[in-house]
Amino acid sequence: MPTSETKIQPPIAAKKPTKLEKHGDVRVDNYFWLNDRENSEVIDYLKKENDYNDKMMAHTKKFQENLFEEMKSRIKEDDSSVPYKLNGYWYLTRYEKGKDYPIYSRKKETLEAQEEILFDCNKEAEGHSYFRLVGLSISPDNKLAAYGVDTVSRRKYTIRIKNLETGEIYPETIETTTGGSTWAADSKTLFYTKKDEETLRSDRIYRHVLGTSVTEDVEVFNETDDTFSTFVYKTKSRKYLVIGSSSTLTSEYRILRADNPTGEFQIFQPRIRGVEYGIAHYNTDFYVLTNADKATNFKLMKVSEENTIKENWKDLIPHRDSVLLEDVEIFKDYLVISERDNGLNKINIKRWDGTADYYLPFDNETYTAYVSTNPDFDTKTLRYSYNSLTTPNSVIDFNMETKEKEVKKEQEVLGGKFDKNDYTSERVWATAQDGTLVPMSLVYRKGIKKDSNNPVLQYGYGSYGSTIDPYFSTVRLSLLDRGFIYAIAHIRGSEYLGRSWYDDGKLLKKKNTFTDFIDCSKFLIEQEYTSAHHLYAMGGSAGGLLMGAIVNMAPELYNGVVASVPFVDVVSTMLDDSIPLTTGEYDEWGNPNEEEYYTYMKSYSPYDNVAVEAVQKYPNMLVTTGLHDSQVQYWEPAKWVAKLRELKVDDNLLLLHTNMEAGHGGASGRFEALKEVAEEYAFLLDLESIKE
């Protein structure tokens, strides 16, 4: 770190007060002006912050390079996915050594057949600093591929169509879409989702006929409720096209026979606020996964395709208070159910004729198991994945009839140094301030002693019911091998312990997410896994909100914090319905146009609560963002850092790094993203005086 004699001064953002008034409450935002990426003064400020970050971290540059090479060296560069079969072809994704992007290919009927290259994304990405191809959709006759491309990182995809026999890319260019699309049975009609230009909400479904002008495309559905988003897909049985509409708490579907693409979509069951459902088709029936009838943890119901209205739904798997029903996968002879029981994944397999009903055996204390890619309807093989904090990911084919399993691929950790027996994992339970037990998954090298001196990186998210399962990471080894303990806090706001765990961490109970994380930190300190001098916290996006909240509420517990693309200006963002995603988020955070939600939101919003104690010290902090982020706009972290610089009363590090070319997911190349991780790890390791 630079000496005091050569102390580098951070950039100071100009204060330009803007009064924001709501419900008679006035907030003065001195940095509101940063909300303009076209303003040269804004860009200049972000560049100055980047320059300051570079200078303050200059002494770690070599270490960052070494960490990057170390992480990269564990990854098999010439890797390929396990092929899956769909409609007579085996599809696979592979990477070539030294190249950043995937190659999509297929083989007809057998894996010994000649490879057909569908897309070499390395070639497609040439000339672009960012490139992403998504939504690869093959026509039923196997001759065409629709796909979406984004070269800006704003998640506005352009759909193109490629003739897989001739290699020709057709002139049709469909802009501002989700990138996904689905073919009707005729292999000529394509359905896709458009996004609103300004808010980026997925709001309209269109029908395109091959060879016609995009200007002639027919709008088949317009989702007018701005708290909903819409999407389109085809059932696994291939019999129906489905238009879905969903908000945080409510869903609705429309169906149409795939062999009748110009017909009218029929509503499956009209939306009822608070009722969520998902549908899968088999034979002459639909299977409905729903929370209807107060089934908080969801149940499975069945209804004839002839009359799908809710009054006709019949219970198949009833609601259970202690088990969350997460998903179902339908095969010709089998029904596969994904459950979560006491935080752990379970996979239940049933034969339709009732002759078999059993669970896959998993015996670890903390692990992740999930149903993988299973597009083939008429098969006895279930493909699933399994990993744990100490065990690399395996892709397994399981014969549901004979119960034989075949490990198709186990993730290779290159470099010759990794042995899973060198590491151990455990699940512990912290007591929250309201008495609730909050689980954490820990992993560390064997032999670590509880003496308060271990560095711990505590990771959390805790929003949208999204659960961070205890998964294996080759990248994380760079911390574990240097003495770190890694902890995932399964705080409220996720669905780790069922749907009520989510309900207790949103809206007017959102603060449970933050206090749970803090109580987990206190547990780690009390149990002498670490001390406040060696405890670090990390989170991104809504997990970045978590970071912003904990450094206001309990800054003394942490030596350092990494906040990636943090959602920290909660009130202003939720009041601005022109920002992507805002209106669809009301059921998660509340609508601040209502005074009760405004007041509660303001009470925890990190930006609004910087140094409210008047004199406040903050941990060392690294904040990262992307200029083109569509999920959390760059100005949130930029304003937050500017305000922290103004008000905090300590000399701890405060760094802002803006990727001037990327969005919410960071860099697009598979190895470029590692450079961002290397920067974060170097920041943490440097605070521990670990230099190599």
Strands 560-564 and 535-540: parallel
Rounded Cα distance, 456 and 473, in Å:
16
CB neighbour list of residue 625: distance below 8 Å, 6 or more residues apart: 564, 565, 566, 632, 634, 636, 637, 638, 656, 657, 658, 659
Q: What pLDDT sits at residue 376?
A: 87
pLDDT at 663 over 60: no
- CB proximity list for 129: less than 8 A, separation 6 or greater: 661
Looking at residue 262, its amino acid is: T
pLDDT exceeds 50 at position 5: no
Torsion of CA 514, 519, 524, 528, to 10 degrees: 140
Q: Which pLDDT score is estimated for 612?
A: 75
Predicted confidence at residue 203, as pLDDT, reads 95
- Of 8-12, 259-263, 534-538, where does mean pLDDT reach its minimum? 8-12
**What is the tens place of the pLDDT at every residue in 381-414?**
999 999 999 999 999 999 999 999 999 999 999 9
pLDDT tens per residue, range 119-167: 999 999 998 888 899 999 999 999 999 999 998 877 789 999 999 999 9
What DSSP string runs through 435-474? S-EEEEEEEEETT---SS-S-EEEE----TT--------T
**Is residue 4 pLDDT above 50, yes or no?**
no
> Strands 103-108 and 116-120, how do they pair?
antiparallel
Q: What per-residue confidence (pLDDT) applies to 580?
A: 61
The alpha carbons of the chain give a radius of gyration, in whole angstroms, of 26
Full DSSP string of 312-371: G-EEEE---SSEEEEEEEE-SSEEEEEEEETTEEEEEEEETTSS-EEE-----SSEEEEE
The most distant pair of C-alpha atoms in the chain lies apart, rounded to whole Å, by 80
- Under the banding of pLDDT at 50, 70 and 90, the label for residue 631 is low
Tell me what the mean pLDDT of segment 558-563 comes to.
Answer: 98
Question: Taking the mean position of all CA atoms in its chain, how far away is CA 621?
Answer: 23
Q: What is the rounded distance in angstroms from the CA atom of residue 659 to the CA atom of residue 656? A: 10
Residues 192 and 160: beta-carbon distance below 8 Å? no
Q: What pLDDT, on a 0 to 100 scale, did the predictor assign at position 37?
A: 86
pLDDT value of residue 677? 95
CA distance 258 to 268: 15
Angle 672-687/61-73 helices, nearest 10 degrees? Answer: 120
One-letter amino acid of 443: V
Average pLDDT, the chain: 93
- At 662 the pLDDT is 58
DSSP 8-state code for residue 526: H
Using CA atoms, how far apart are residues 245 and 62, in angstroms rounded to an integer?
A: 49
Check residue 276 and give its pLDDT. 97
Q: What angle do CA 15, 561, 478 make, to 5 degrees?
A: 140
End-to-end CA distance of the chain: 15
Q: Which segment of 85-99, 306-320, 473-487 scores lowest on mean pLDDT?
A: 85-99
Residue 35's pLDDT is 92
Tell me, what's the pLDDT at 3? 46
User: Tell me: the pLDDT tens digits for 41-54?
Assistant: 999 999 999 999 99
Query: Could you tell me if residue 514 is left (phi over 0), alpha (psi between -120 and 50 degrees) or otherwise beta?
Result: alpha
pLDDT in tens, 192-244: 999 998 888 999 999 999 999 999 999 999 999 988 999 999 999 999 999 99
Cα 132 from Cα 105, distance rounded (Å): 16
* Strand ranges inside 411-558, DSSP E: 423-431, 437-445, 456-459, 485-489, 535-540
Q: What's the full length of the chain, in residues? A: 692
- Give the phi and the psi of residue 687 in degrees, each rounded to 5: -65, -25
| CA neighbor of 191 nearest in space, from 145, 246, 234, 154 | 234
Q: Percentage of the chain surpassing pLDDT 70?
A: 97
What residues are labeled active site? 541, 629, 664
